[in-house]
Amino acid sequence: MLAVGPAANAQAPGPGRAAGNGGRGPGLRLPLQGFETTGQDPAKYTPEEAAAVSVVRKWIETSNNHDVAAHMALIDDNIVHRGDPTEELAHGARSYCAAFGFVRSATSVLRIDEMYVVGGPSETLVLLKRTDINNPVGNGRAGGLSGYPVPLAVLVRVKNGKVTEWLDAPVNNVSMAPMRAVGALPVPAQSAQPAQPRPAPEVCMKYPEGSK
């Protein structure tokens, strides 16, 4: 997996400037990963990065439009996915369709807050900070008692124009003492339970189960 973060964007030391020795004489050099010069200026994305960003934007757009067919056209048959870090990894487009319920829910809005993309010819990773808004009033605004925003950290892996991996993790801790509030919404605490397989809705049955 490619490194992501400030160190990954650092330029390798030039000739005669070895890492950790003040640039005097031979020494350890930082490896080039192939994306150091791109930064996060969209104009400098590699072709693969630009293509992956387009896929992820369509992934969000088709969710908000509740267009199941267009959304699932972006999903690899053997996608690896996990919508909750307490669950085990699942495989296949059918179980993904069952797990990613936003695209079938007319009361949810997904919003991209931040995006970081890194990739090359084999595959591309897109890291997101996403906010999910349930029961919105309009224009992405939260509404009603259940309309609280939920921030998430998201990893999406893209290869050949398809999402091959999707992992969600809540940014906020939602496992709290009894009746502590999540934003304005009181939520009773629940002990962690083993993940149960989600029954696939009829609309999902036409998609492949996939293989590990």
Per-residue model confidence as pLDDT tens digits over 96-113: 999 998 888 877 889 999
pLDDT at 75: 98
Q: What is the average pLDDT across 163-177?
A: 77
Give the right CATH number for 37-189 from 3.30.70.330, 3.10.450.50, 3.40.190.10, 1.10.3720.10: 3.10.450.50
| pTM of the complete model beyond 0.85 | no
Closest C-alpha to 47, from 121, 127, 143, 153: 121
pLDDT at 50: 94
Q: Note the pLDDT tens digit of each residue in 157-168.
A: 999 999 999 999
Q: What is the average pLDDT across 139-146?
A: 49
- Rounded to 5°, angle at Cα 129 from 123 and 131: 130
CA dist 45 and 61 (Å) reads 21
Return the structure tokens found at 81. 């996915």
pLDDT at 71: 97
Closest C-alpha to 123, from 70, 76, 81, 90: 76
As a whole number, the mean pLDDT across the chain is: 75
Residue 185's pLDDT band, with cuts at 50, 70 and 90, is: very low
